[in-house]
A and B are shown apart, each in its own frame.
Chain A
Amino acid sequence: MAAVGALAVLIPWVAGEAVVNWALLVLLQVVVAQSWNLLAGYGGQVNLGHAAFFGIGALVTRGLWMQGMPVAVALPVGCAAAVGAGLLVGVPSLRLRGPYFAIGTLAMAEILRIVVATVLPEVSALPAELIAGYQLLPRYYLVLLLAVAATGAVWLVEQSRFGMGLLAVREDEGVAEAVGVDSYRHKLLAFLLSASLAGAAGGAFGYYHLSFYPQFAFSPVWTFDAVLMVFLGGIGTVWGPPVGAAFFVLLREALALRLTELHVLVFGAVFVVVVLALPGGLVDFARVLRLRWVRAARPGQA
């Protein structure tokens, strides 16, 4: 763990720009994955409209920053905007159960994406003077900071009384209510936390990219990637999403080079196999393997 952390901090000093860009993408996906994991893994709510919060964070942060606001101010404002949207979406939709929450959030995100595509059809490119001052290093460390913060947030939730309540809601809302957990408030708080982290990830994306179509930040791809990474790594765990994100981005880059379109096919198939056969994801799979290995090494005690 310490080695990975040290590597993440040192990468810009030992590796070339391509590797730094790649590491930045991994870390950005860690933030996206953790934000989805927080609500789905601990609260049991499958939010298929997650991209909306990423997009709002990206749009607001980038807009303010390009108008001259320092990114240290613009990013929190972008986060706050995502939380505000989270309130608007979460208050009605969290009363819905199971599949209706999933498809309801998907519908709301699609509405937002279509509206953004209509209102802002032009590509958002940085002006020349901002490109001239563009530096990769601060962006990398910003995303690293966010990834650590997101993982820390999930860890804190897991340790806290709030997290216990959330887990109870995930397992059985009726029982949770019966022992005095206000399930609606727990879900809403988790939803807002998740939205704020997604907004931060979006903000970093808006600060990092030279040019993109505003609607791209709202694309359902961001949601789907998050779902894939979280399930690959291990849903409802602290270390699953980072493992899933690294695995996902690495595999995607490797496959996209060799197989182009086919890499989506591989991901879809791997995803189905993981959902059906490895519900604990890679993290759990590694734990099981290690247990077997330990038992095999000490046959007397098995």
Chain B
Amino acid sequence: MEVWLQNVTFGALVGGLYGLAAVGLALVFGVLHMLNVAHGELIMLGGYTTFWLFTLGGLDPYASLLVAGPLLFAVGVALYEGLFGRLVRLHEESKIQLSILIGFGLALVLHALAILAWTADDRAVTAAYAGRVLHVGRLVVPLTRLGGLAVAFAALGGLHLFLQRTDVGRAIRGTAEDWEAASLMGVPVRRVYRTAFALGSALAGVAGSLVAVSDAISPAIGLSWTLKALIVVVLAGLGSILGTFVAGVLLGVAESAAAFALGGVFREVVGLVLFVAVLTLRPQGLFGRKL
């Protein structure tokens, strides 16, 4: 029983990070109706930012969030201006398809660039407090994971407030709902698109920093993080940040339970099976609006 509780705790801690990794993808998909399958590669770039700042500058990984976020925001603006922004005018269906294809080409490029810049080795950031744990009753909670969960929660809470309370946030939500109506109300739709895309990238950057602390990073992690984010987005459905977070935690718990009960390889399989099941049985997601 205790072992189970410990596993569920671990899963929930990892799951918060999954939620954070997914919410940027969900934001871009919800607002721009584009699916950026290079999202995992942006997470990787965030991870390497933290890795570099830590090994070259000795900067604390949690402080480097403040660099990785804005840096990836800038990368997002550049990617939108150079690539994804060109698809805005297209018809809905072809917009989604072409965005998948462009993201796929971009993923190849970023993957190759990362190998050139940092080699294909696994890297991790090991801060002084990396191995420390917190004892809660008889449960063991690693500090870095707990910090990751806290940051994920704070980032998602901040995003929620931003979208609900500010004018820019309102413009983003309005555009997601109906861009034509938003445009008629005087919302500069293209600028909103760019902001939303850059915000999605920045969230990937923050998630990447956390990945560098609690997991390992390598140029090849992109695809698996994109898949994880996609699974969470499909589990949650669009339109709810809290739902995305909860779905992330759910996935984390399901993974660690499956790994514990059935064996390590099933960690990856259980998420994909959940994903296919939700996709076929409840395409709007567990917490999403009806499509």
- B129-167 interface code vs A (CB 8 A; 1 in, 0 out): 000000000000000000000000000000000000000
Known: A99-B35, A111-B272, A114-B269. A265 touches B113 (CB 8 A): yes
Q: Is the CB of A268 within 8 A of B105?
A: yes
- B82-114 interface code vs A (CB 8 A; 1 in, 0 out): 010010000001001110111011111101110
Q: Which 6 pairs across A and B sit closest by C-beta, in order of nearness?
A: A268-B108, A265-B112, A268-B109, A272-B105, A271-B105, A264-B112
CA distance A117 to B231 in the complex (A): 21
Chain A residues, CB < 8 A from B116: 261-262, 265
Q: B109, B113, B265, B283: which has the most chain A beta carbons within 10 Å?
A: B109
Chain B residues, CB < 8 A from A264: 108-109, 111-112
Within 8 Å by CB of A110, from B93, B272, B280, lies: B272
Chain A residues, CB < 8 A from B268: 110, 114
CA distance A115 to B102 in the complex (A): 29
Q: Is the CB of A118 within 8 A of B283?
A: no
- A214-236 interface code vs B (CB 8 A; 1 in, 0 out): 00000010001001000100000
A-B contact pairs, 18 of them (CB 8 A): A95-B280, A100-B234, A104-B280, A107-B272, A108-B276, A111-B272, A114-B269, A114-B272, A115-B269, A231-B101, A264-B109, A264-B112, A265-B113, A265-B116, A267-B108, A272-B83, A275-B102, A276-B102
In A252-275, the 8 Å CB interface with B consists of 261-262, 264-265, 267-269, 271-272, 275
| CB of B187 closer than 8 Å to a CB of A | no
Chain B residues, CB < 8 A from A46: 97, 100-101
B-side binding surface: helix, strand, loop or mixed? helix
Name the distance in Å between A194's Cβ and chain B's nearest Cβ. 17
Q: Which A residues are closer than 8 A to B by beta carbons?
A: 46, 92-93, 95-96, 98-100, 102-104, 106-108, 110-111, 114-115, 117-118, 220, 224, 227, 231, 261-262, 264-265, 267-269, 271-272, 275-276
In B261-291, the 8 Å CB interface with A consists of 265, 268-269, 272-273, 275-276, 279-280, 283
| Range for the number of chain B residues in contact with chain A | 35 or more
Among residues of A, the one whose C-beta sits closest to the C-beta of B115 is A261
Q: Is the CB of B272 within 8 A of A100?
A: no
Chain A residues, CB < 8 A from B104: 224, 227, 271
A-side binding surface: helix, strand, loop or mixed? helix
Chain B residues, CB < 8 A from A262: 112, 116
Name the distance in Å between B35's Cβ and chain A's nearest Cβ. 5
Q: Is the CB of A268 within 8 A of B106?
A: yes
Q: Is the CB of A103 within 8 A of B230?
A: yes
Chain A residues, CB < 8 A from B112: 261-262, 264-265, 268
CA distance A282 to B109 in the complex (A): 21
Name the distance in Å between B205's Cβ and chain A's nearest Cβ. 21
Chain B residues, CB < 8 A from A114: 265, 268-269, 272
Q: Is the CB of A98 within 8 A of B280?
A: no
Name the distance in Å between B257's Cβ and chain A's nearest Cβ. 17
CA distance A224 to B101 in the complex (A): 10
Within 8 Å by CB of B108, from A98, A100, A103, A265, lies: A265
Within 8 Å by CB of A269, from B97, B105, B280, lies: B105
CA distance A98 to B223 in the complex (A): 20
Q: Is the CB of A104 within 8 A of B100?
A: no
Name 10 extra pairs, CB < 8 A, besides A100-B283, A103-B234, A262-B112: A46-B97, A95-B280, A103-B35, A104-B280, A115-B269, A261-B116, A264-B111, A268-B107, A272-B109, A275-B102
